[in-house]
Amino acid sequence: MTNHTTIRLEAEKKEEFAKLCDNMGLSVSGAINLFVTKVLQCRRIPFEISADGDPFYSEHNQRILLKSISELEQGEGKTYNDVSEVLADRA
C-alpha cells in the first residue's frame, strides 16, 4: 500500500529540481524516495546541515561581489577566461 505525502516547494525550486531529477533519469517522487531510504539506512540526514550557511553568501564575500559588479558596470575591473587566470593574477 502506498501512502501519499504532500510537500510544498517554491515554484522555481520545484521546476529546477524536476529538471535535475529528469537529467538523472529519476522522477521527483523517486528522488524523494531515495532520500527517505538513505535517511532510514543511516539514521541521520545524509548531508551536513549548518546554521552558518554557505560561506559564499557571507557579508564579506557579498561586499566584494557587489564591488566587482559595480566596477564591471562602469567599465572598470578585470574579466577572466578561467580560474587559472584568476590564480595567476593573484600570485
Mark whether 43 and 59 lie in a shared domain: no
Helix 11-23 with 28-42: angle, nearest 10 deg: 80
In this structure, are 64 and 27 located in the same domain?
A: no
pTM (2 d.p.): 0.51
Do 4 and 21 reside in the same domain of the chain? yes
Residue 59 sits in the same domain as residue 24: no
Which pLDDT tens digits describe the chain residue by residue (91 residues)?
A: 678 889 999 999 999 999 999 999 999 999 999 999 999 999 998 887 776 677 777 888 888 888 888 888 888 877 888 888 888 887 7
Question: Does one domain contain both 86 and 60?
Answer: yes
- Record the cell numbers describing residue 34, joined without a space: 531515495
Query: What is the C-alpha separation between 4 and 22, in angstroms, rounded?
Result: 21
**Same domain assignment for residues 41 and 65:** no
What is the spatial distance between Cα 32 and Cα 24, in angstroms, rounded to a whole number?
Answer: 13
The reply to whether 69 and 38 lie within a common domain is no
Give me 71's grid cell: 566596477
In whole angstroms, what is the distance from residue 80 CA to residue 71 CA? 14
